[in-house]
Amino acid sequence: MSVPIMSNNNHTPDTTAANQPTQEMRSNPQMGRYVPILATVPAPADPEVSARPVRRKFTAPYKLRIVNEADACTQSGEVGALLRREGLYSSHLTDWRRQQQQQNPGARKGSRPVSDGRMAAENRELRCKTRQLERQLAQAEAIVELQKKVSSLLGITARVRASAHDLSTLESDENV
């Protein structure tokens, strides 16, 4: 942290002294006395913020190197230290692993097995069968609705189908 240099006359910061070497007196414990030290005062930071931030771009070899280094970490906290050292976020690592997996599936041994396509083919087949059955169901419902309308127009009432027990008692009553 740099402190502005104060001029001797009015105690206001001296702006002409920026980036100029100055002499300070600091104690030197080995020599037991104050020794003049020549130091440079850094220029003040530019207060202007750029209109558009610069997006970082990472090369493929860099991404691969970082992913491999992260995979080689065995101790607790090593991955976090790697990310802090490189100035990265854990989401970078996740995205790069996903990209690597998409480029060569089967290269990494993850916790989830890689699908070989059999389940996808079965899924497509089942979806097709479901659509076909839904069409048949809609057709059957339309036929039933049509039958209801025709019977109401003709004044035909629907008969309740008798059970086998009722039919046997009817037959026995008719024979008597």
Q: How is the chain split into domains, by residue range?
A: 1-43, 60-103
Query: Which pTM does this prediction carry?
Result: 0.35
93 to each of 23, 32, 62, how far by Cα in Å? Answer: 48, 53, 11
Looking at residues 68-74, what average pLDDT do you find? 91
172 to each of 119, 162, 163, 169, 175, how far by Cα in Å? Answer: 59, 15, 15, 5, 5
Q: Does 158 or 55 have the greater pLDDT score? A: 55
- Distance (Å, whole) CA 69 – CA 72: 5
pLDDT tier for residue 49 given thresholds of 50, 70 and 90? confident
User: What DSSP state is assigned to residue 13?
Assistant: B
- Distance (Å, whole) CA 71 – CA 94: 12
| pLDDT score, position 160 | 52
Q: Are 76 and 37 in contact (CB under 8 A)?
A: no
The pLDDT > 70 percentage for the chain reads: 58
Average pLDDT, the chain: 74
- Distance (Å, whole) CA 172 – CA 31: 131
pLDDT tier for residue 98 given thresholds of 50, 70 and 90? very high
- Say which amino acid occupies 43: A
pLDDT tier for residue 103 given thresholds of 50, 70 and 90? confident
The pLDDT > 90 percentage for the chain reads: 33
- Give the highest mean pLDDT range of 45-54, 69-78, 126-135: 126-135
- Distance (Å, whole) CA 75 – CA 66: 16
Structural element, H or E, at residue 33? strand 33-40
Judged by average pLDDT, the poorest of 51-65, 81-95, 129-143 is 51-65
For 27, left (φ over 0), alpha (ψ -120 to 50), or beta? beta
Return the structure tokens found at 17: 């002294």
User: What count of other Cβ atoms lies within 10 Å of the Cβ of residue 112?
Assistant: 5
